[in-house]
Amino acid sequence: MTLTLSEVQFNLTKVDFTTLPKPRKNKGVRGQLLELALGIPNSSKLTDMVDGELKSFTKGESIAVTQLKHTLPQIFDKTPFPQTKIGIKLQQTLYVGFDRQNNFLGTTTLTPDTAPEHYELLQNDFHFIANRIRESFYNKSELHTINGVNGLLQIRTKDSKDRNGNYHPIYWKGQKMTNKGFAFYLTGKYAKSII
């Protein structure tokens, strides 16, 4: 069973945030524990809730959205943003903020209805980044960090070595695009403004 956004917003009123650990190397642990505390099972589904996504974050730090390799087919097919994995994940997002001492700061829910300008800026950033990714591929140049024109969305490395000490390069149609895994992030600068 997966919960709705409104059910999770209600469950947030019952969570004791002092019991959540401060993130260390694996920043995703706090988010996973928060999901469980809210009644959301940890899974690999595209969104955490039936109708939205939960993102916990430390104020001022970037917020991971999804791995770049999962979005490449949509980027190269020029899928409309609302139908992309990024667009779907960020369409209705419940942000739960913490400070660097792990104190709960509050929540914000952003949707195309409540913040249409926000969603349009995300869409513009996505298109800008997608265009740069396609250009990099066609020019046979390696990808580097790309920031969206509005400063909300970016791609950059997100990888850890496997047991043999190797990173996970990204290939598209047989061409190496990066020597490490990359992911889409909401920028740290933007994360400061959410809550």
Residue range 116-135, pLDDT digits in tens: 999 999 999 999 999 999 99
pLDDT of residue 149: 97
Q: Tell me which residue of 86, 80, 101, 102 sits closest to 34, measured CA to CA.
A: 102
Positive or negative: CA dihedral 74, 79, 83, 86: positive
Number of compact structural domains in the chain: 1
Residue 145 lies in a domain: yes
Residue 33 lies in a domain: yes
Confidence at 1, pLDDT banded by 50, 70, 90:
low
Cα Rg of the chain (Å, integer): 17
Q: What is the pLDDT of residues 67-105, one digit of tens each?
A: 999 999 999 999 999 999 999 999 999 999 998 888 899
Residue 30 lies in a domain: yes
**H-type alpha helices, 41-187:** 72-77, 85-91, 116-138
Domain with 140, as residue range(s), is 5-190
Residue 71 and residue 66: Cα distance in Å, rounded?
A: 8
Q: What is the pLDDT of residues 34-66, one digit of tens each?
A: 888 888 988 888 999 999 999 999 998 999 999
Residue 9 lies in a domain: yes
Q: Which segments within 59-189 are labelled E, that is strand?
A: 63-67, 93-98, 104-110, 146-147, 153-157, 170-172, 175-178, 182-186
Residue 48 lies in a domain: yes
Residue 69 lies in a domain: yes
Residue 140 lies in a domain: yes
Average pLDDT over residues 178-182: 96
pLDDT of residue 167: 95
Confidence at 25, pLDDT banded by 50, 70, 90:
low
Residue 195 lies in a domain: no
- The CATH number that applies at residue 52 is 3.40.600.10
